[in-house]
Structure formats: C-alpha cells, structure tokens
A and B are shown apart, each in its own frame.
Chain A
Amino acid sequence: MNTNMKTPLPVTVLQYLALGGFLLFLGFPVLWIVSASFKSSAELNSLSANLIPNEWVFTNFTTALERQNLLTSAGNSFLVAVSTMVIAVIVTLPMSYALARLRGKLRAAGTVWILATQVFPQILIIIPLFLVLRTLMLNDTLLGLILVYVTFTLPFTLWMMQGYVAAVPRELEDAGSMDGASRFKVLVHIVFPLLRPGLMATAMFTFVSAWNEFFLALVLLQSPELFTLPITLRAFLGAEGQTQLGPLAAGAVLATIPSLIVFSFLQKKLTGGMLAGAVKG
C-alpha cells in the first residue's frame, strides 16, 4: 500500500489559505494592540482604522514605564507565575500518577473532590480565603498569592495530567519491572520521560493562569510594590470609564513579552507522538 500519496496542489493551497486565515483571525488582536501602542491619542480617537500608524509615537511606552511601575509589576508577575508553574508541576506529577493508576474508594473520593472544587466561584470563597491567609500572616505577600494560585490550578492540572498518565501503556511499566527495575526507577526512567509533553502543557497552563489572573491578586495584595501586571495595567482604566488607550496598549505589549519568551522555550518541548510504536499490537 502506497502511503506516500501526494496531496493535490489545489488542496494544499486551500489548506494553506485556511491556515493563513486562522492565523490572521488569531493574530489580529495582537497586531492591533501593537499598532495602537505606537499611535497618538488623537489618532486612536479618530475614525481611521489603519493598522500602520500615521505617525509613530513612542511616548506611550515611556508613559507606561514611568507611570505605573510596570517593570516591578512584571518582575512580580514573572516570579509568581514561574513559582506557581514549578510547584504545580512538581505536586501534580505524583498525584496524577496515583489518580490514574490506583483503584479503590480513595481514588473515587479524590476524583469527586477535584470536580467539587471546580464548582465554587472565586467570589464565594475570597473572604474566607483572605481571613485564612491573614491568620497565617500570608496576606499581602507573594508567597501567599503563589500558594493560592497553586491551590486553584491544582484540580485542573491534576485532571489534565491524569489523562496523560492514563495514555501511557501499562505494558511499558510491566516490561521495566520484568527487567528488574524498581517502581521508582520505572517512574523516573520510563513513565516521566513519556509524560514530558503533558508536563509542558500543564506548565504552560499554570504559567498563563497565574500570569493573567487579576481578581485574587487584586484582593489579596495591598502593597503597590507587590502588585502584579494585571493590577498595574488596570490602573490605565480610570474612574468614569476613562481609558488611556495608548499607554494601556503599550503596557499590554510589554506585558506580553515575558509570556512569549516562556512559551517559545516550552513549546519546543511540547512534542507529541513520542509513544508512537512504543508498543507493538
């Protein structure tokens, strides 16, 4: 059977057109915000909808950096997001393995608990959470915020990771055991390497969740020097609906850069198909 059938040219062209359209659809908001960050206030408030600014203005960036302590906030956000990502991944890994592989009432109870925690809206538990953190002397600290983020992302990351674990064939573990490897060795040398794409996906999810989160940070942080980026960027939205669109766009562009760097680093590791051919049927 010939598996190297060539795709007809019109189909290829259509595929690329569809892909281009999809990329444009996803990328347009980003292009627009970059464009807006270089426009003057007058141009932003005109009816012209040009993507290329009539006059390139850089003052939005200086305003954003000077006015709102953006760099400090970016540092806080990065610290919180990376810490949340690392802790969540480290905690999720063994828990998700247990959830996927073990059988019994405890596992069922764990599954129910994970689903139940997703039911409660943040607004419902914010005050008790605030009081607990206050008792622990962790309110208005980044450490407190990280622990809260880990707590909030854990159910979803567990759910995500246990799917990846379940996809790893048991036969691979059995083969390792038959060769004399201990349970720990099997996990470290066989299972965990196969879970790398899943770990990367989980890492990305937790990083983005923590990087973008606004409400919990707003309520739990009181000190301006600890504010994360979403809080600082919202300062460009004033009372009575006033919006400083130029500096806000510039701030958003700057805020995107660390996120892009992390993504470009992680996405290389996010490769599927590692299990292809691992088990012959």
Chain B
Amino acid sequence: MNSKKSIGALALLTAGAFALTACQQGSSSGGGGGGSEDGAVTLQFQSLSDQPATQEAVSSAVEQWNSDNPDVQVEIIQAGWDGAYDKLITQFTGGTAPDIVHFDGASIVSFAQDGYLADLSGGLSEERIADVPQGIWDAVTVNEEIIAYPSTLQSYIAFANVDLLEEAGVEVPTGETMTWDELAEIAEATTTDDVYGIGWGLGSPAATVMTLAPGFGGDFFSGTGEDVQIEVGDAELEVPERIHEMAYEDESLDPVSLTQSGSDVLASFYGGTVAMTVQGSFQATNIANDAPEGFNWVALPPLEGSEGALQAVNPQTYSVNIDSEHVDEATAFLDFFASGETMAAIAQADALIPASESARAVVAEETGGEDGWDQILASADGMVGAPFLQADGYAEWKETTLNPALQQYLGDQIDSEQLAQQLTDGWG
C-alpha cells in the first residue's frame, strides 16, 4: 500500500515538475536580437558587469538609448564573468551569440581571429576613436580591424602603509613614477622581525608578470596570429627575477604571499605585517572600504622599468557579433554607449581606469584624486598594446605553461634559465 502511494506521489511529482518546466521558456534564447511586431529592431546586449552601481550605469545608458531610439531597442542580458569564455564559444559556435558582447581584450581577440566579430572602425565616430590612446586601440585591433571598443582597464599599483614607512625612516615617494629599485630599497628598509617590506599576491602570477613586462621592454612574442614566435630573454625575465630577488636574496618580500591571491594579502596589509603590497588598481576601492579605521595608506606612483612606467593594456571590451542581423545598429549603439559619462560611471563603479580621455577627466574631477585615484589615473598614461594579446593560443599557454612555470620559479624550485626554457618549450 505504501509503495503504491510512493509510486503515485513520484508520478505526480514528475508530472508536476514537467508541467512547470515546460512552461519555463527563456527570454534570451535567440541568436542575437531581431525584429518585433511593430517593426522595431531589438538588440541583445550581454553584459558581464557585476557591481550594482555598474549595472545601474549600464541600465541607465540603455534606457536613455531606448527612449531616444524607439526603432532600435536594446535588451540587456545579464551574465557573469565566471565561465564567460566557455559560454561565449558555445554561443558563437551554436549561432546564438548576442548582438553585443562584453568581455576582455586578451580573451576576445581569439574570437576575432576565428571571424566572429564585426569591424567597428567604420561605425565608431571619429570623436570616440580620437578619445582613446592608440596604444589601447592596438590591443583591440586584429588584422587592421577594430574588433572591440575598449572600456575600462586595470594597472598594477603599489600601496603603502604610511605609518610603517615613516617608522622605518623612509620618505613616501611622491614623484610621477617610482623605479623598481626604489621599491626594493623601501621594501628592505621596512623589513623587520615582525614585518615584511612587501606582500605580493602571486598565486596566479601570469597576468601580473605579462602586464609589467613592457616596463623593461619584455615583449615575449613577435608576429601575430598563428605566425607568432616566442622569445624569453633578459627583458622578459626582468620582472620575475626582481620579485625573486626581493623574496629570496633581500628577504624583504613575504614568500608566503607569493602563494596567495591579491585579496588574501590585503589582510596582511591591514594587519600591519607587510608595509607595502602590489595589487590591481581596482583594490584601491576595497582598501578604502575595508581597511581598519585610522589605517594610514597611500597609493605609490606607477612602477618604472628601464623603458618607462609601461604596462600592457588588457581592457574590458564591447564587441559586435558579425552574424548579427543588425551590425550597423549595434555599432551605433556602442558609439552612444561609449560616451565619457557612461564610461566614467562604469569605471568608478568597478574601480577601474577608463580607456577614454574624456571619461578619465570625468573620474579625475569626481574623485578629486582621493583614495589613490590620482596615481591610478596616472598609471594609465603608460598603457601600451602588448604582443601577447595578438598571439593565437596565448590563453592556453598562459594556463598550461606560464602560470605553472612562474609558480615554480617564484617558489624557488627552478632557476631563471629553466624558467625561460619551460616558457619557450611550452609554446606551440
């Protein structure tokens, strides 16, 4: 009797579940937008913005566009960063990619090389193109086509505990830039029995090393697409060698921090067990929000190598699906969306640097340079396009070769020659 009841309940449950699920039709399952009954075009815009304030800025711009353009309506599809690459590759391959795609430079280039993205150069206004430095455009140019609009970017910045520097008798650097030698000297000077001069979260060191490499002329790659050649010489090894030196020769860099994430190291920074920390610039906002009351901190000037205070740019991007039925309308929307005000609002909400000069001016004015924004914005002047962005297979090499090899080197398991060998052998 009981078993009959159970079977009946199960059957009922299944039928009910199916009835419910069958009714659940997604609103975003099309391959891009399309027309509607009233003849208006609907564009699908897949946004990865995850901060409430960023989402608000994006929504506000879209609402403005929709009210100004009744014939071309934009629908936001909210997605997340995690797994975005897998999602996009499935969408593009399956022909269901949205009209407008939000991603980042290092990852979007491979989609362009596979022919999934439209050339924006004819559709973006001269004003928009002139508003972004050429070095940043280079990062989103593939085969002489602009395949994305670069919106925001991050640099790597050193943050310092002012009290610990002063205790050590070190003057806080205030120049336009700060050399790597100065960083090492300050780290040594502030190292005591209880405090390391610097904590650097390099659990996944690839992005940091590749971003800072141009400061010493480290290119790693030459050529584009499938014809890329790798070369790991002195210039390319400079950044990891200097970090290694601080950790194992000067003993001024906390070696434990080399196994942690940037966010993990912030706890040591707030706790006063490291005097400085190098972080993504976006962490300035987190420091301002989470640091203990009275914590006296400052963002130090951008790090300068032998070639200048240069860093590889890897911007967040907005692209147009080449298979969209409305490429021109989507590009026109992007041109509107890329206004200084919208980009400034997004950048501030995400604590990132706007790619465009006009948006940077807005951020500078609105923040007054507080909470490290002065140095963060200054670091954007040294942003350059990096060859690795154009290298076919870079993303795979980064995960399978670069990260593990750097982890071994920074863990003092291999020397720099072995590091160079591994990086070279691991490429294609």
Contact = CB atoms under 8 A, between A and B. Distances in A.
Contact of B289 (A41, A192, A231): A41
A236 B262 CA distance: 17
A223 B90 contact: no
A239 B48 contact: yes
A192 B22 CA distance: 30
Contacts of A46: 267, 270-271, 292
A15 to B, nearest CB: 36
B10 to A, nearest CB: 6
Interface in B331-371: 350, 352
Most buried by B among A44, A76, A142, A146: A142
A208 B270 CA distance: 39
A188 B7 CA distance: 10
Contact of B271 (A47, A123, A231, A243): A47
A89 B96 CA distance: 33
Interface in B313-334: 316
B362 to A, nearest CB: 21
A79 B268 CA distance: 43
Given A139-B96, A241-B263, A47 B270 contact: yes
A218 interface: yes
A214 B83 contact: yes
A134 interface: yes
Contact of A127 (B17, B90, B352): B90
Contact of B24 (A41, A143, A238): A143
Contacts of B82: 218, 234-235, 237
B121 interface: no
A45 B270 contact: yes
A198 B216 CA distance: 63
Interface stretch (A6-14, A80-88, A270-278): A80-88
Contacts of A236: 50
Interface in B1-34: 3, 10, 13-14, 17-18, 20-22, 24-29
Interface stretch (B73-81, B123-131, B384-392, B419-427): B73-81
B18 A234 contact: no
Given A83-B18, A219-B86, A240-B280, A45 B29 contact: no
Interface of A is mostly: helix
Interface string B261-278: 111001110110100000
B13 to A, nearest CB: 6
A223 B26 contact: yes
B154 interface: yes
B87 A143 contact: no
A239 B290 contact: no
A239 B22 CA distance: 34
A141 B24 contact: yes
B268 A47 contact: yes
Contacts of A87: 14
Nearest to A63: B52
B93 interface: yes
Nearest to A231: B80
A131 B96 CA distance: 10
B281 to A, nearest CB: 9
Nearest to A82: B17
Most buried by B among A76, A127, A130, A239: A239
Contacts of B267: 45-47
Contacts of B304: none
Contacts of B94: 127, 130-131, 134, 139
A239 B263 CA distance: 13
Contacts of B18: 83, 143
A222 B77 contact: yes
Contacts of A142: 21, 24
A126 interface: yes
Contacts of B99: none
Contacts of A231: 80
A21 interface: no
A126 B86 contact: yes
Contacts of B200: none
A141 B21 contact: yes
B80 A134 contact: no
Contacts of A188: 3
A130 B282 CA distance: 36
Nearest to B281: A240
Contacts of A82: 13, 17
A119 interface: no
Nearest to B287: A45
A235 B93 contact: no
A248 to B, nearest CB: 11
B9 to A, nearest CB: 10
Nearest to B98: A222
A242 B282 contact: yes
Most buried by A among B52, B79, B94, B282: B94
B413 interface: no
10 contacts: A46-B270, A67-B52, A134-B96, A140-B28, A141-B25, A143-B22, A146-B17, A224-B28, A224-B77, A241-B280
Given A46-B270, A47-B268, A234-B80, 16 more contacts: A42-B291, A45-B286, A45-B290, A67-B52, A83-B17, A90-B10, A127-B93, A139-B94, A140-B26, A219-B86, A222-B91, A223-B26, A224-B78, A236-B50, A240-B352, A242-B282
Interface of B: 3, 10, 13-14, 17-18, 20-22, 24-29, 48, 50-52, 77-83, 86-87, 89-91, 93-96, 104, 154, 261-263, 266-268, 270-271, 273, 280, 282, 286, 289-292, 316, 350, 352
Per CB-CB distance, the 10 closest pairs between chain A and chain B, nearest first, are: A140-B29, A223-B26, A140-B26, A47-B271, A83-B17, A234-B82, A222-B28, A142-B21, A223-B28, A235-B80
